[in-house]
Chain A
Amino acid sequence: MATTSAPGTEFSADLGAAVAAEGEDLPPGIGPWKLAWRRLRRNKTALFFGGVFLVIVALSVLAPVYSHDIAHIGYADQNIDKPILIAGKKTYVLDPTGIPIGPTWHSQYLLGADSDGRDVAVRLLYGGRNSLEVGIIATTITMVLALILGVWAGFFRGAADATIGVILDSIWAYPAVLLGIALGATLAISGINLGIFKIEGTSLYVPAVVVGIVYIPYVAKPIRGQVLTLREREFVDAARQQGLSNFRIMFSEILPNVASTIVVFVPLILANAILLEAALSFLGAGIKPPNASWGTMISDGVNTIPAAFHNVLVPGIMLVLTVMSINIFGDGLRDALDPRSKVRIAH
């Protein structure tokens, strides 16, 4: 795999200089990926927050275990007017005027109840699952489509570039949240029906598709820019001289050189996707009830702020912690891959 000297997100041009800049003896023949891993390993803060994110993922994945074996209540189960036993004491989860209980610090209703009599801790973990699932699917959609469109537009240029550019500009022209609301509200009723490909309006995949589409231009355009430069390089010329087809050149020469860009974008898009999903769910255009999402939990909790502030605080903290940990880890990853890179999401 060749490296280039172009500034931006690819590896530094002169591996020797980079190795020298490390200021220590490195094993001979160390590749750029290993060099990046060494840099990342030394960034304790990035690793710590990467660990925090993994803990959040693990807790979310274990949501069914917590729900079934510890809390003994499902994420949508409601206790409204019948008392339950908490630490041997009969407790009404909602009082006669609908005010929910606060944190009990016991296995049941550990972090209290929401205004529907549901366990906040259970919904928090399931909400994490849903938010992460939507975020990961959306990120996958964004990266795959952005890569295809960006490489195609940058490599073939001309009419293909112009057409793809118009599509990307059209999406980019709308503020992400507004576009997400418009698409989310429409698809919530009708769902997505493309013949063999059908998604119900209440499915989690609807907000995932919406968020995925919204962020395509933010990735496709930088990739396109990079490919425009790469296609003029001598190694691409050499590949053409050897008679390789366009597709072969894209796969074997272009793609490996944009790999680091893709790797850097993934945590960036994931963080933004989770935030956008939360915003859409807060506004009613994202994940549908009774499915949990941090955004819907905050939205549901707004009406009970005076009496049950925890319903807003708890999912808010989780959201901030998750996005922050992804962002800090992503910063560390970018620094490790190319300290000079200037990757940003322009809004």
Chain B
Amino acid sequence: MRRHRRSALATVLALASVVALSACGSSSSSSTSTGAAATTTSGSATAAAGGPVKVVVGTAPDSLDPQFGYTTQAAEADWLAYTGLTTYAHANGQAGGTVIPGLATALPVVSDGGKTYTATLRKGLVYSNGKPVKASDFAYTIERALKLPWGGSGQFYGGTIKGAAEFAAGKAKSISGIVADDATGTITIHLIAPYGAFDNVLAFPSSGLVPSGTPMKNMPLTPPPGVGPYMITNVVANSSFQVVKNPHWTPIPGIPSGYNNISVSINPNVSSNALAVLQNSADVFDYADTVPGSLLPQIKAQASDRYSKKIMNSTYYVFLNTQTKPFSSQLAREAVITGIDQNAMSRLGSGTLIPGCYFLPPGMVGHPTQPCPYGDPASGGNLAKAKQLVQQSGMAGQPVTVWSQTRSPRQQWMTYYTQFLNQIGFKATQKVIADATYWTTIGNLKLNPQTGFADWNQDFPNPIDFYLLLQSTAIQPNNNQNFGQVKDAHVDSTSKRLGATPSSRLQSIAAQWQALDTYVAQKAYVGAYGYQTFPAFTSNRIDLSKAIFGPQYGWDWSSLTFK
């Protein structure tokens, strides 16, 4: 009997531990989030003045190496540590999308009909390791981005800079279109053709200078030195990293030196991240994560002064591989767009999605205003029509693998999408991949993924930024970003032509971008299911009067400080 009394006690303890374990979240939470996730203390926690601002993110950056990282989580840190010849204004709202001089003394001088950009490096610049910056480091930086390769390198460098594609293909030892004079600090860049958004390209973190001789390999755990008010240190893979003040930073006008160091914890349990910020044991909820709907009432009730929704230019979609069955058939792609219930997707995303069918989001120049070609996305989807289209396409019964990340609500979206594909006549199964390896996995052309989750947040406020995902020249064997493998001559030629227009004259070609985006929607190249609103959610310690939320990278971590 003693044994069974112990068993009964063990039962109670086991039950309690299951509940406690679940409430604390996944196994990684308490050890990685610097005490954020597992605590249940309420009220404001005090932090030492000048102590680090604690940011919690749900997904690890794909890499903190600026010449490889291409996710929002990477960009949020990298743009503060790796300044390019140009950069973005540290300002709220639309003003935050303005390009300003970075390491160059002024915005590049554009000549030769838009094909030559000339900039001069500021004097006295040094890297975070104290090494002086040279003009030739710019050429090396771009070479490195092509070699690693950075996800946008094929499009933004190989497709624009003379000689870059040849260098990437191993046919040249250097990029012929970049001429750098270390003595004068002058950098001259010759483009293949005019490219209106090239100032924005120079502002990418991947264009942020690194010293010549930096190893030509991805360095996610020991990112190379850079020039910026901050530097990245103490990287623990999929766990945490620090963004600390750069002791060798020389102030540059327009680039604030920053207030506090930043301590970033990676915890895939976004629920516990949100709770941590609500309870003030963490300071900033990553804008790219979704606050679980189950917590929204509590947050709105207890923290309405520090929570808001921001609209940024982003599109959430399912990629549809146009080169392989079943989505090589346009009818099959139309079936997806016709039938998918965007209201359901929005509910699964805690009500944060705005329904839509166009690839360019509503805030972007060129977003079409006419009705969607395959029905009103807010109507709930037409399942019967979708089934009919699948039958007509001849692809009924085709096996389909749906690729998905693990974090919420992306996995829920893809679970629903998988069910939907089965309902309309495919044989769909879901494959869930760890977030940290998702993009590199589906970006591997050998895998030839058929469909799955994708999203795009603007790199800069120019439609050409979105259309790199649909240009055939963007298809590359590794780190591919054109997941749908769209190869359309009209898309290629039109987007290239429109992309040559300088950003200052974007409005003049808005109608042409609208026409192209309508064409893409009619061709059903992209299964857009909504435009996300993003949470701006902080602890009560953050001085919101100083905090900046920009259109490029969300929270400007250099603007975050305590009251």
Residues on A lying within 8 angstroms of B by beta carbon are 45, 76-78, 80-82, 94-99, 115-116, 185, 188-189, 200-202, 282-284, 288-290, 298-299, 301-308, 312-313, 316-317, 319-320, 323-324, 327-328, 331
How long is the Cα–Cα vector from A170 to B325 in the complex, in angstroms?
Answer: 43
How long is the Cα–Cα vector from A299 to B411 in the complex, in angstroms?
Answer: 12
Q: Is the CB of B294 within 8 A of A288?
A: no
How long is the Cα–Cα vector from A320 to B15 in the complex, in angstroms?
Answer: 7
How long is the Cα–Cα vector from A302 to B411 in the complex, in angstroms?
Answer: 14
What 5 A-B pairs come out closest when comparing CB atoms? A307-B294, A98-B293, A97-B293, A80-B344, A316-B18
Sample 9 A-B pairs with CB under 8 A, ordered by A number.
A80-B416, A81-B380, A115-B408, A283-B26, A302-B26, A306-B295, A319-B18, A320-B14, A320-B15
The contact of B294 among A45, A80, A99, by CB within 8 Å, is A99
Determine, out of B134-142, B425-433, B476-484, the stretch whose residues face the partner at the interface. Answer: B425-433
Confirm or deny: B501 has a beta carbon within 8 angstroms of a beta carbon on chain A: no
The contact of B19 among A303, A307, A313, by CB within 8 Å, is A313
Q: Is the CB of B416 within 8 A of A324?
A: no
Q: What's the minimum C-beta distance from B378 to chain A, rounded to whole angstroms?
A: 11
Q: Is the CB of B415 within 8 A of A298?
A: no
Q: Which residues of chain A have C-beta atoms less than 8 A from B292's C-beta?
A: 98, 303-304, 306
Q: Is the CB of B271 within 8 A of A328?
A: no
How long is the Cα–Cα vector from A306 to B298 in the complex, in angstroms?
Answer: 9
Beta-carbon nearest neighbor of B407 in chain A: A303
Residues of chain B in range 54-71 having any CB-CB distance to chain A below 8 Å? none
Q: Which residues of chain B have C-beta atoms less than 8 A from A305's C-beta?
A: 22-23, 271, 294
The contact of A328 among B7, B350, B419, by CB within 8 Å, is B7
Residues on B lying within 8 angstroms of A by beta carbon are 3-4, 7, 10-11, 14-15, 18-19, 22-23, 25-27, 269-271, 275, 292-298, 341, 343-344, 346-351, 380, 406, 408-409, 411-412, 415-416, 418-419, 429-434, 441
Q: Which residues of chain B have C-beta atoms less than 8 A from A80's C-beta?
A: 341, 343-344, 347-348, 416
How long is the Cα–Cα vector from A80 to B348 in the complex, in angstroms?
Answer: 8
Q: Is the CB of B416 within 8 A of A78?
A: yes
Q: Is the CB of A289 within 8 A of B269?
A: no
Q: What's the minimum C-beta distance from A180 to chain B, rounded to whole angstroms?
A: 13
Q: A289-B430, A312-B18, A324-B11 are in contact. List 7 more A-B contacts (CB 8 A).
A: A96-B351, A189-B433, A288-B430, A288-B431, A320-B14, A324-B10, A324-B14
How long is the Cα–Cα vector from A97 to B535 in the complex, in angstroms?
Answer: 14
How long is the Cα–Cα vector from A319 to B21 in the complex, in angstroms?
Answer: 14
Q: What's the minimum C-beta distance from B168 to chain A, rounded to whole angstroms?
A: 28
Q: Which residues of chain A have C-beta atoms less than 8 A from B23's C-beta?
A: 305, 312
The contact of A302 among B269, B380, B433, B434, by CB within 8 Å, is B269
How long is the Cα–Cα vector from A116 to B19 in the complex, in angstroms?
Answer: 21
Most chain B CB within 10 A, of A305, A307, A312, A323, is at: A305
Q: Is the CB of B431 within 8 A of A202?
A: yes
Do A283 and B27 form a contact, CB below 8 Å, given A290-B418, A320-B14? yes
How long is the Cα–Cα vector from A96 to B351 in the complex, in angstroms?
Answer: 6
How long is the Cα–Cα vector from A45 to B4 in the complex, in angstroms?
Answer: 8
Q: What's the minimum C-beta distance from B472 to chain A, rounded to whole angstroms?
A: 28
How long is the Cα–Cα vector from A79 to B445 in the complex, in angstroms?
Answer: 35
Q: Is the CB of B348 within 8 A of A290?
A: no
How long is the Cα–Cα vector from A307 to B274 in the complex, in angstroms?
Answer: 14
Q: Is the CB of B349 within 8 A of A98?
A: yes
Q: Is the CB of A284 within 8 A of B406?
A: yes
Q: What's the minimum C-beta distance from B29 to chain A, rounded to whole angstroms?
A: 9
Q: Is the CB of A98 within 8 A of B351?
A: yes
Q: Is the CB of A98 within 8 A of B380?
A: no
Q: What's the minimum C-beta distance from B465 to chain A, rounded to whole angstroms?
A: 30
Q: Is the CB of A98 within 8 A of B347?
A: yes
Q: Is the CB of A201 within 8 A of B341?
A: no
